[in-house]
Structure 1
Amino acid sequence: MDALKQQQNEINEFFIYMELSKLQKDPHNKKILQEIAMQEKEHYEFWKKITGQELKPQKLVVMWYIFLARLFGLSFALKLMERGEERAQEFYKRLIMKYPEAKKIFDEERIHEAKLLSLLNDGKLRYAGAIVLGMNDALVELTGTLTGIALAFNNAQYVGITGVIMGVAASLSMAGSAYLEARENQDSGIEPTKYALYTGFAYILTTIFLVTPFFFVTSAKTGLIFMFVAAALAIIIYNFYIAVAKDEDFGKRVKEMFVITFGVALISFAIGYVVNKYFGIEI
């Protein structure tokens, strides 16, 4: 029954918003989350009168969104949940004719998003630019370079070790550049040290993700296939996060990163093929 399902959603969201409010240090964020939580409780009571049933929150659902907020930031967790709210609004539109009182709930649901956008002062999202910088650089540089090396030398472990050395050195270089960049733009409210750490960590994490396959296979070309799969997964996962948190076009972002990353890899593939064919280097 649709009404029962919506009643369950409302009690889940009441507990989610209340728990998220407890995590907030910003009084403004805390107050708005509590206000929305109480609205969700009122919506639950409305549907309870219709269904005649008492429901408890689904603990796993509540815990899941709290986990997402802690790991990826408040913006991501709330925006992901609000996508569910958009589907709920379509549900309310169908019910307004049958239950005129649902019009009030529908109007309140529509202003949720505006309220949420006003409170999203999310530290994790503020440093998303640093993660983009580190991750994009690692994807473009390492996929390209490792492709060229793998085509020139067939020893997978050699390629993997080379990738690790390059990744560590490049991450330190990137972190240093990021620190200087942030220090020159102190009006942005970004801490240079934290910005540098996010950039370097993103580069190192992406490096590990890309080079790991080479240590579990003997052929560098086989490792190359798994590396491309890892790169594709990294691009899809990260861009899903940004698309949700910043309300951006997921398809457009993914397409753009795929073209850049794999375009560079294709050029490197050609260079590696030439080296392998005409110089006969095989390790």
Structure 2
Amino acid sequence: MRLGITMFATDLTMPPHELAREAEDRGFASLYVPEHTHIPVARETPPPTGDAALAPEYARTLDPFVALAAAAAVTERITLGTGILLPAQREPIVTAKAVATLDRIAGGRVALGVGYGWNAEEGADHGVPWKRRRAVVREHVLAMRELWTRDEASFKGEFVSFEPSWSWPKPAGRVPVLLGGAPGPTLFAHIAEYGDGWMPIGGAGIREALPDLRRACADAGRDMVPVVPFGTVPSAEKLGYYASIGVEEVVLRVPGGGRDAVLPVLDEYARTYL
């Protein structure tokens, strides 16, 4: 089983390019970093963690593509991913260019963990029709795929439309898109249509959901896609459970802090689980 890591990277934490290099040196397979463009001060949306107040780190996240480009420059093997990207809040033509450029720099090592977002006020500042955000994400990802794969790309949808266009560079390889979210028919239909895997946070309910995901993929004429549990605090029992249900990669959580806080955890994870 491959083990990756994720850290809530901010301007106050260990720089992600240093973390990527240290993770690669220890044998970890991937590094994922999150995205929030901003956090509106006045907010009715409750924190996704269930806490009374939103943690300050949400307002301090780095731009994921700039951070991962720095990581790509100092690593050779580790997968570099977003965990998670918010495509509904991004202009897809510009984002497609950024992803393709990053994948070229990284030599085909980029993965996109994407989600639908939880912060309605943040989305509103980007003009996202909140109740339609899943449809927006779908079109943005499909439009980016057109730009990544076709010499003359075009797209006509409800939220994205562009005439036949040239856009290079193309990614060095196929950029996998891993959709995050709780299990359910809508998510699994989207994964089967345009995703390359499911990235659930934590492990609750994965075993029970696998038949539904497998069925959705079969209905779309596809093989079963990978499941990549995200943000896991590891234990031997938990990793053994994942292995028993066919999971091939797990992304472990490390604390959002400086080198003194992060590296001992990396060392413990490497010593215990790699």
TM-score norm. by structure 1 comes to 0.23
Whose Rg is larger? 1
1 or 2, which has the higher strand percentage?
Answer: 2
User: Could you say which structure has the higher helix fraction?
Assistant: 1
